[in-house]
Structures are given as C-alpha cells and as structure tokens.
C-alpha cells in the first residue's frame, strides 16, 4: 500500500535539549513549539512484496540514513509486516541547517508510513511513534502550538495548546547557513546533560518558564510568546556554551541578526529572536511587527534567505504522491 503525508517543521519556543532515555528519546523536560506552515516536508511511503530492500530518496538523492530505516522497522513491527518500503521525501527548505527538517521529516514519515502499513493509530500513538524517530517530530503531529510532555515512553506525547489561527503570530526564518550543523542534536544533548554546570539550573528554571508560556498561549498573547521564546533561547544556549567540549552553534551572522533584532526593538518594533541548534535565526512577533522588521533583516550581512511563516496545522495525509 502507498500513502503520502505532509508535515510542517516546528520551532521550539520552550526548547527541548536533553534526554532521560536516549534509545527511546524520552525528553528531560517538557517543550513547547509552534509549527511553521511555510516549511514543510512531503513524504510518500509504499510497502510492497516486490521490493527486496528499503529504498530512500531524499530531495532527489538516494540516501541510506539509518534513522529512516530504523523508523520503517518500528512501523513494520507495529503492523507485523516484513514488507520492504520505498520512501521518497522532499523538503521545501534546506535540510540540516537549524530549521528542524528532522521534525517535519519524521512526522511526515510516521503519518505516511503508518497509513501505508495499514495501521490505524490514534493521534497520541502517532505522536509517540514520531518521537522515537526525532523528539521534536512528535510536536509536528498535532501542529499549531504544541507541548511535548516529558513522562515515560508511552506518555511522552505532544498535545495541542493552541490552534494555528488562535494567535496573530508570525515567524521570519532567517537563513544564514547553507551547511549541515556541526554537532548533531543527539550528540550535543548528551554532552550538555553530562557536562554543563548550568543544566540542573535550566531544569529548575523550566518549571515556571513552561507555566508562563502556557499562560501566554491561553491569553492569546503573541508578543509574550515571542518574548518568552527569546528568554528560553539564551537559557538553552547558555547550557550549550558551558558544555565540555563547548557547543557553539552560532556564527558571526547569527549574532548580526540578533543585533538587528535588538536594534529593531529599540526603535519600537516588537520582534524577538529564537535560535535552535544551528546558525539560523527565527524572528517572532505579531504579523505587523514581523513585516516591519523584514527589510532591515534582509539587509544584514550574511543573510542568505528569508521565509515568512504563519503557524502551521497538523501532519496530514495528502492525495498527491511523489511517485
Ligand atoms: O530535532 P531534535 O529532535 O533532534 O531536537 C532539536 C531540539 C531543538 O531544536 C534544539 C530545540 C527544540 O525544542 O526544537
């Protein structure tokens, strides 16, 4: 059987950085994100008796990414199937540069793969399965503004806190990197949780920080959501910078964009920055403020792309296959 799904990337607003169980990707802390409607992955999966081995094509190139093959094994195990799969996946943005293509990628693979294997999973089961592929992918399953709980394996699922249209929220994804990030997030998380003296302090700070973010979402307050995401960015990067060896994900251009955001704010435009594990910067705020900051950010040295995005919806099956 063949199925196709489309999923959005997401941006951590209260970020996930650390696991209590690496194999099952159980996160150390709950995290909250917003899906990005403009950054999507489309994936078609076909399981068939005619295939002798799994085949993967990612952005028009043949790939042997073991994480994808492991994920197909998880789906086969649930479906009690031994059929091999053909997977074709296309990103609407460059992968591996800090715009979280693993989130949209594993969310789309999970939803398409489960359907192609004939599984009828609940949204919670789909979110859990996506988490096993990539932690942040679980949050792309419900879409909108979602919280990934940090419980045990079965209960660490993402739940929706607000719908994509509930807040006047916009993100400008400011690209400054065209290369893969230097330390993949799984390795980076391991280094930080084991060595940063600030990591225990982060876990303590997160309890009220999460509560403030949930309250800002309940109050439908986009400026407060954007502000709290900036506070959390600096908190998470403080744990990365104080890891041993240090994790410096930012480049000079990252800091130039951050400076431009601070300057925009000083001149009365309410925009805030947010950076995941990479060089690129998200700039968040109300639609009118993000529009007002756009040309200033385009002019910053080192900026190679600007994509404006509204909040996105859930990962969904789609009638248009890639093969
Ligand atoms: O994409 P993952 O599951 O490897 O985790 C990345 C985590 C951050 O992007 C750095 C933060 C977040 O919450 O998305």
The range of the structural domain enclosing residue 16 comes to 2-165
pTM here is 0.97
What is the domain-level CATH number for residue 70? 3.30.230.10
Tens of pLDDT, residue by residue, the chain (323 residues)? 999 999 999 999 999 999 999 999 999 999 999 999 999 999 999 999 999 999 999 999 999 999 999 999 999 999 999 999 999 999 987 554 556 579 999 999 999 999 999 999 999 999 999 999 999 999 999 999 999 999 999 999 999 999 999 999 999 999 997 667 789 999 999 999 999 999 999 999 999 999 999 999 999 999 999 999 999 999 999 999 999 999 999 999 999 999 999 999 999 999 999 999 999 999 999 999 999 999 999 999 999 889 999 999 999 999 999 99
Pair (81, 208) in one structural domain:
no
User: For residue 290, is it within any domain?
Assistant: yes
User: In the listed set 165, 194, 212, which residue is the last one of a domain according to the structure?
Assistant: 165
Pair (254, 200) in one structural domain:
yes
Pair (146, 34) in one structural domain:
yes
User: For residue 58, is it within any domain?
Assistant: yes
Cα–Cα dist 237/221, whole Å: 25
31 lines ligand 1 (CB under 6 A): yes
221 CA from centroid of ligand 1 (Å): 24
204 CA from centroid of ligand 1 (Å): 19
Pair (51, 120) in one structural domain:
yes
102 lines ligand 1 (CB under 6 A): yes
186 CA from centroid of ligand 1 (Å): 9
Look up tokens 């996105």; give the residue: 312
Q: How many domains does the chain have?
A: 2
309 lines ligand 1 (CB under 6 A): no
Percent helix, strand, coil in the chain (nearest 5)?
40, 25, 35
User: For residue 320, is it within any domain?
Assistant: no
User: In the listed set 165, 183, 203, which residue is the last one of a domain according to the structure?
Assistant: 165
User: For residue 322, is it within any domain?
Assistant: no
276 lines ligand 1 (CB under 6 A): yes
User: For residue 316, is it within any domain?
Assistant: no
Pair (151, 174) in one structural domain:
no
Pair (188, 286) in one structural domain:
yes
What lies within 8 Å, CB to CB, of 282 at 6+ separation is 11, 171, 172, 173, 174, 229, 273, 274, 275, 276
User: For residue 317, is it within any domain?
Assistant: no
Pair (241, 276) in one structural domain:
yes
101 lines ligand 1 (CB under 6 A): no
- The DSSP call for residue 132 is H
Pair (287, 200) in one structural domain:
yes
């Amino acid at each position: 059987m063949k199925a196709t799904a489309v999923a959005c990337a997401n941006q951590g607003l209260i970020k996930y950085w650390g696991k209590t169980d690496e194999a099952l990707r159980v996160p150390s802390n709950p995290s909250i994100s917003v899906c990005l409607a403009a950054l999507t992955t489309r994936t078609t999966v076909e399981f068939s008796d005619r295939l002798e081995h799994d085949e993967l094509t990612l952005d028009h190139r043949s790939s042997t990414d073991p994480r994808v093959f492991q994920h197909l094994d998880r789906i086969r195990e649930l479906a009690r199937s031994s059929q091999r799969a053909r997977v074709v996946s296309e990103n609407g943005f460059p992968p591996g540069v800090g715009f979280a293509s693993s989130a949209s990628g594993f969310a789309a693979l999970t939803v398409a793969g489960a359907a192609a294997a004939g599984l009828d999973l609940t949204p919670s089961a789909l979110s859990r399965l996506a988490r096993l592929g990539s932690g942040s992918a679980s949050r792309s399953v419900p879409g909108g503004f979602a919280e990934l709980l940090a419980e045990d394996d079965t209960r660490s699922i993402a739940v929706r806190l607000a719908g994509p249209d509930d807040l006047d929220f916009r993100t400008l994804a400011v690209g400054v990197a065209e290369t893969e990030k230097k330390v993949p997030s799984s390795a980076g998380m391991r280094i930080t949780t084991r060595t940063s003296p600030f990591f225990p302090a982060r876990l303590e700070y997160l309890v009220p920080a999460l509560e403030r973010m949930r309250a800002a979402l309940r109050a439908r307050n986009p400026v407060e959501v954007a502000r709290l995401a900036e506070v959390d960015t600096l908190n998470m990067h403080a744990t990365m910078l104080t890891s041993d060896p240090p994790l410096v994900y930012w480049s000079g251009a990252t800091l130039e964009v951050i400076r431009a955001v601070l300057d925009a704010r000083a001149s009365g435009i309410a925009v805030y920055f947010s950076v995941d594990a990479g060089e690129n910067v998200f700039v968040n705020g109300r639609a009118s403020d993000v529009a007002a900051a756009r040309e200033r950010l385009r002019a910053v040295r080192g900026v190679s792309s600007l994509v404006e995005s509204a909040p996105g919806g859930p990962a969904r099956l789609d009638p248009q296959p890639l093969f």
